[in-house]
Amino acid sequence: MTMPAAAEPFVHPALFYGDEREYLAGTVPFVLEGLASGEPVAVAVPGGNLSLLRAELGDDARRVKLFDMTEAGRNPGRIIPRVLRAFADAHPGDGRVRIIGEPIWAGRTGTEYPACAQHEALINHAFTGRPVTILCPYDVAALDPLVVADARATHPVVIEGGITGPSDAYAPDRIVAAYNEPLTPPDRAAAFPFDADLLPDARHFATDRAAGHGLAGDRLDDLALAVAELTTNSVVHGGGAGTLRIWAEGPQVVCEVSDRGEIKDPLAGRRPPARDQIGGRGLLLVHCVADLVRIHTGPGGTSVRFYLGG
């Protein structure tokens, strides 16, 4: 599938499909054209579609980097640094890179979706100026019409019914702002106000409560790391103090750190750090260990909420 010429080296089309036939018709030629041109190709899609593509590609599948998006992209916030950028950055001298990325599927929850939509919008900023094409399939037969409408806003190009054209609804920054939703913790959340002197106590408070909710082993260590990074960020960048809250939500433990700071860089936590970079990895680490991260930020302060399952 040859993409139309564009002034911007980065190309980001949404592929709307309604069944397996349309899915394969939109994705397989995209992969094969890339391979025929000597371009590095990666596919990051949910497991069922990954199996479908692997079977259709046959031996050519061995020449493609394959990711199960339900695992690699469980938290939408880590897809850019750990999947898309990781693959593209591994091929700096190979010309154009092609990736199929399907971060939104029918099994996504309403709690996850705002982070998914923001991720799709932020891809456009993360790859500006780079010779990369990221094709994003959307199952229009299974997804809510609102999701499809948002896809038109987060993708400058839309492929529908085999026809490729510009999206007249393209407005990615509007989507980032629309899903910058206030986060209201439940009444049952346990709260711990902290400042610089209480950082160790905040971490112990979180791990004690999380263990009481059933979190254990490596996942409890992940929670301790994430809490340490976020509370330290609050002290250094968020006005010197903050409030940690923790509660259980189904099988997951939820932590939220709120402070008076504002995150002004929409890609904060989504850029792989430079090798010689000192600091600036805190939010990235949280994205890497959590099952989901939701953020609300503005002049009145910032709340970062993360979810961890056992």
User: How confident is the model over 138-184, as pLDDT tens digits?
Assistant: 999 999 999 999 999 999 999 999 999 999 999 999 999 999 999 99
Work out whether strand 41-45 and strand 97-101 pair parallel, antiparallel, or are unpaired: parallel
- 89 and 221 assigned to the same domain: no
- 303 and 278 assigned to the same domain: yes
- 168 and 196 assigned to the same domain: no
In the numeric block, which tokens belong to residue 188? Answer: 């049952």
Could you tell me where the beta strands, DSSP code E, fall in the chain? 13-17, 41-45, 65-68, 97-101, 132-139, 157-160, 163-166, 190-195, 241-249, 252-259, 292-298, 301-309
In the numeric block, which tokens belong to residue 74? Answer: 């469980």
- Can you give the pLDDT at residue 2? 52
7 in any annotated domain: no
Structural Rg of the chain based on CA atoms: 20
277 in any annotated domain: yes
241-250 in b/e burial notation, b at 16+ Cβ within 10 A? bbbbbbbbee
Concatenate the DSSP letters of all residues of 128-187 into one string: TTS-EEEEEEEETTTS-HHHHHHHHHH-SEEEETTEEEE-TT--HHHHHHHT-------T
Query: Final residue of a domain: which of 130, 146, 178?
Result: 178
SS3 122: helix
Query: Domains in the chain: how many in total?
Result: 2
185 in any annotated domain: no
- 54 and 158 assigned to the same domain: yes
- 37 and 82 assigned to the same domain: yes
Query: Final residue of a domain: which of 128, 144, 178?
Result: 178
- Can you give the pLDDT at residue 7? 57
- Can you give the pLDDT at residue 310? 77
Work out whether strand 65-68 and strand 41-45 pair parallel, antiparallel, or are unpaired: parallel
**pTM for this predicted structure:** 0.94
- 118 and 203 assigned to the same domain: no
Characterise 276 by phi-psi region: left (phi > 0), alpha (psi -120 to 50), beta (else). alpha
| Nearest one of 113, 182, 173 to 148, comparing CA atoms | 113
In the numeric block, which tokens belong to residue 270? Answer: 């989504």
* Residue spans of the chain under pLDDT 50: 5
- 160 and 28 assigned to the same domain: yes
CATH code for position 141: 3.40.50.300
CB half-sphere exposure, 146, CA atoms < 13 A: 8
Packing angle between helix 217-237 and helix 282-289, nearest 10 degrees? 150
Work out whether strand 190-195 and strand 241-249 pair parallel, antiparallel, or are unpaired: antiparallel
Q: How far apart are CA 259 and CA 230, in angstroms?
A: 10
- 155 and 202 assigned to the same domain: no
Q: How far apart are CA 259 and CA 244, in angstroms?
A: 9
CATH code for position 283: 3.30.565.10
52 in any annotated domain: yes
Query: Final residue of a domain: which of 144, 178, 212?
Result: 178
134 in any annotated domain: yes
Query: Within 10 A of 140 (CB to CB), how many other CB atoms are there?
Result: 19
The secondary structure of residue 11, as a DSSP letter, is B
Work out whether strand 241-249 and strand 163-166 pair parallel, antiparallel, or are unpaired: unpaired
93 in any annotated domain: yes
- Can you give the pLDDT at residue 272? 83
- 171 and 260 assigned to the same domain: no
Per DSSP, what are the bridge partners of residue 247?
254
| Nearest one of 58, 34, 54, 38 to 46, comparing CA atoms | 54
CB half-sphere exposure, 305, CA atoms < 13 A: 25
In the numeric block, which tokens belong to residue 185? Answer: 């913790």
Q: How far apart are CA 45 and CA 3, in angstroms?
A: 20
4 in any annotated domain: no
- 158 and 226 assigned to the same domain: no
1 in any annotated domain: no
- 18 and 95 assigned to the same domain: yes
Work out whether strand 292-298 and strand 301-309 pair parallel, antiparallel, or are unpaired: antiparallel
Task: Write out the residue range of the structural domain in which residue 168 sits.
Answer: 13-178
- 21 and 140 assigned to the same domain: yes
